[in-house]
Structure 1
């Protein structure tokens, strides 16, 4: 991990900014996964079904996903600081209301509000830190941020289990209140004020929002329905999937046709090889990470007989491995580029996935823990260099758009990973949990083979470049932007 001395070598202002941004961001990251262990409790307390309770997670995820593309435009219109403070406030209000919810319908509505706040905060974490760090330090800062991001999906169920063991489910939301108030107070003092922007900001692409946000949300909803129902042929999955294709296809036509106003996300970004490779790898990392997080607790519960809280604790080595790896490789990528580090991490994760295809009910827990640690370490070695390469090779004015695309594809990858593993474990196991688990990790291994190939497309060592003035946002020159590394 980043040592104390290495943190101290960062500018004091940057160190403080990193701290307050990570404090604000950890709430949304934990809240997205913490609720997973509360489904039974919520169904019992509200007297409803698990299918209805599943919308407590789905409504949050859908609201978060829809908010992401709007952030790229709003950060220039409103300013990063104002938007960050607004996102924290919305998330805090949503958390309070969730803790006071009187039925499952009101909880779902308040989770939408909470998800909007999380969408703003999560997207701005990347943008604020990348802009403050600069190209020469973006790797180490993104690696440090990755500690929080990679630990959240693992720590969330553990924290949720601790709360549910002795307190009401309401405290899963109310615990955000002191953290949110502290983050708001520190942000008012530490997050730098937005510079006066004399450049004109284009009008909001309302048509783009109407197509892109719901299109991505429909895709996520379709995948969550596949995971819940165990089949792709259910009307509940096919209807939103068809809507996603129509809406996203409509957005592609809208964004690429000649027009005066800039689209919400300029698809010409994908003509930059380094950007296209980075977001592809980012999506695959999300897929493999959440597929593993979904499958490993089921092995511990269904094959080894552990309870929910024990299974959550035994998932911790994956998060620890990633938390150790991301700062190390992120910092290293500032000097050697992303390609070799990501390739090595993908190979290590692939070998770990193959180990999981061979374990059984009597396999020593030491080997299972070791494989969990190494798959997390390998994925961390892919994630941090990939994120830093995206920010290092994009012009500064395109960072918000790049952040939105990366985060959306990572979320989609996570949804695909969960859905794929759920379907495979249900259909390939024939009622045998161990066979289903093996089939799930063969699926993960195939995805990691694709990830190994995609890692070769990432930028290598960066040639030193003199600082130069960035071209105006949205121009063709801006899209050409920084030079492509070797």
Structure 2
């Protein structure tokens, strides 16, 4: 009887995973760590918080517009060279940010950081997906999910520790030793690119880039402003959102027509039910995760009168739950498929979010912490199997494009989750009465998370089914996913 999946991860693959995650974690931590330094930076540069916020916004926008180009550049320059280049750019941006002398210089250097992160972050998915292969995609994506889960939670905590101990500049200096080690190990561990890979890419889809880059940037910027203002009906929010939708619609029309060059993102991928469902569910995981990461710290600060650092530590169970669930459910998905695991995870996350709607200011933090931990467990049980399903059904040549779509939708989901929760809390009047106010306004935010979990449940039957072993000519087992044809 043929074994479905080899349970062992060989030492060479484990080394590769460790090196890639070491390089990838810097950008994930930096995207959230700097947010806690806004007040410190405002005092340092004698400017307003709104001016300082541009350093984080610029980083996010640079990352967003770089991701689709990275998918094309993989075929043109190869994974290894692109990874080393992206890490080097990120380190240069980190060093420059650490010595910034005013807000414009910091914002400009953060753009350089964002460009490096926009190369490195999707390459994490590409490298791991290629190394794992279809049979081990779930467990490897589960290991990566630990970093994705803990990064947004640990970033603000580490940022607070750095600010208390040393200068704000060390939030950027700290990347240098980590990055240099990651760079040196990558040179040794990441395999060389095939000789023909650099000739496999078509010319850059320049028109697609002209349409997609501003479309992605405008959409993320509009959602970010909506989160900051807790409103969708203002011109600073509506104008970029409308422009983003127009540019992205133009890109879709262009991608369906273009023949002479390959589009940056092949929108025909969405004709595959498995692909469309996987990226939709993963985007919804981003919505729910960032909704919780935004609402829970405010709950602890406004209802229980905790400081920012304590609130950050109290929200850590959400990330911890997800980090624990992802490796286990990712491994199981290689045998059982995604559907039942995602269904169970969405149900758990929805029930835990419902429990949060029953908690008020008279209930101790232990219960809200347990509920947050259960939300994380549920979302982790959704995330890793979904990513594994995506890479099991995606043709190998489409892995870079699929990774770009997956990462961008996660960015969209995070921005949308924060924006919606901010709007819900503002509509409920949260913040008008200050610390010690009723928890009732936060219940609406948790109901939103319940709704997201229900949408995931509805989408679950569209995910690929149980992987099936298929004997190959060499006697080894490959995988076929139940209900998914070769064309997607």
Quickly name the TM-score band, shorter chain normalised: over 0.9
**8 Å CA contact 1:291, 1:417 repeated in 2:** yes
Indicate the residue corresponding to 1:171 in structure 2.
170
Counterpart position of 1:356: 356
Deviations 1:219-274 (A, max 9, x none): 00001111111211211111111110110011011001152221111110001100
Aligned to 2:336: 336
After superposition, the C-alpha distances for 1:191-239 in whole angstroms (9 at most, x for unaligned) are: 1000122664211001111111210110000011111112112111111
Name the residue aligned to 2:326: 326
* Counterpart Cα distance in 2 of 1:238 and 1:373: 35
Question: What is residue 481 of structure 2 aligned with on the other side?
Answer: none
Query: Runs of at least 4 residues of structure 1 off by over 6 A?
Result: none
Give, in angstroms, the shift of residue 468 of structure 1: 8.7
Structure 1 pair 428–468 and aligned structure 2 pair: CA distance change class (3 A): farther
**In structure 2, distance between residues paired with 1:102 and 1:349:** 45
Change (3 A) 1:256 1:315: same
Which secondary structure does the structure 1 equivalent of 2:470 belong to?
Answer: coil
Instruction: State how many pairs are aligned.
Output: 469
Aligned residue runs from structure 1 range 254-273, under 5 A = 254-273=254-273
TM-score w.r.t. length of structure 1: 0.94
SS at match of 1:231: coil
Question: Deviation at 1:8?
Answer: 9.8
State the match for 2:480 in structure 1: none
Q: TM-score, normalised by structure 2?
A: 0.93
Residue 429 to residue 448, structure 1, CA distance change in 2 (3 Å) = farther
Correspondence list, 1:289-300, <5 A: 289-300=289-300
Query: Which position in structure 1 is the counterpart of 2:40?
Result: 41
Unaligned runs of 5+ in 2: 475-483
SS in 2 for 1:464: strand
**1:404-435 CA distances to partner (integer Å, 9 max, x unpaired)?**
11111111010000000111111123636523
2:469 and 2:7 mapped to 1: Cα distance? 24
| Match in the other structure for 1:100 | 99
Cα displacement string for residues 436-472 of structure 1 (whole angstroms, at most 9, x for unaligned residues): 2111111111111111111221112012234599xxx
1:328 to 1:28, Cα distance in 2 relative to 1, 3 A: same
Give 3-state SS (helix, strand or coil) of 2:468's partner: coil
Query: Structure 1 regions of 5+ residues with no counterpart?
Result: 1-5, 470-479
Name the residue aligned to 1:286: 286
1:460 correspondence with 2:459: no
Q: Distance in 2 between matches of 1:301 and 1:127?
A: 39
Bigger Cα displacement from structure 2, 18-27 vs 427-436: 427-436
Confirm or deny: 8 A CA contact 1:138 1:388 kept in the other structure: yes
Report 1:31-110 matches (<5 A).
31-110=30-109
C-alpha RMSD of the superposition:
1.7
Aligned to 1:315: 315
Are the counterparts in 1 of residues 360 and 440 from structure 2 also a CA contact under 8 Å?
no
Structure 1 Cα separation of the partners of residues 447 and 381 of structure 2: 21
Aligned to 2:306: 306
The reply on whether 1:438 has 2:437 as its aligned counterpart is: no
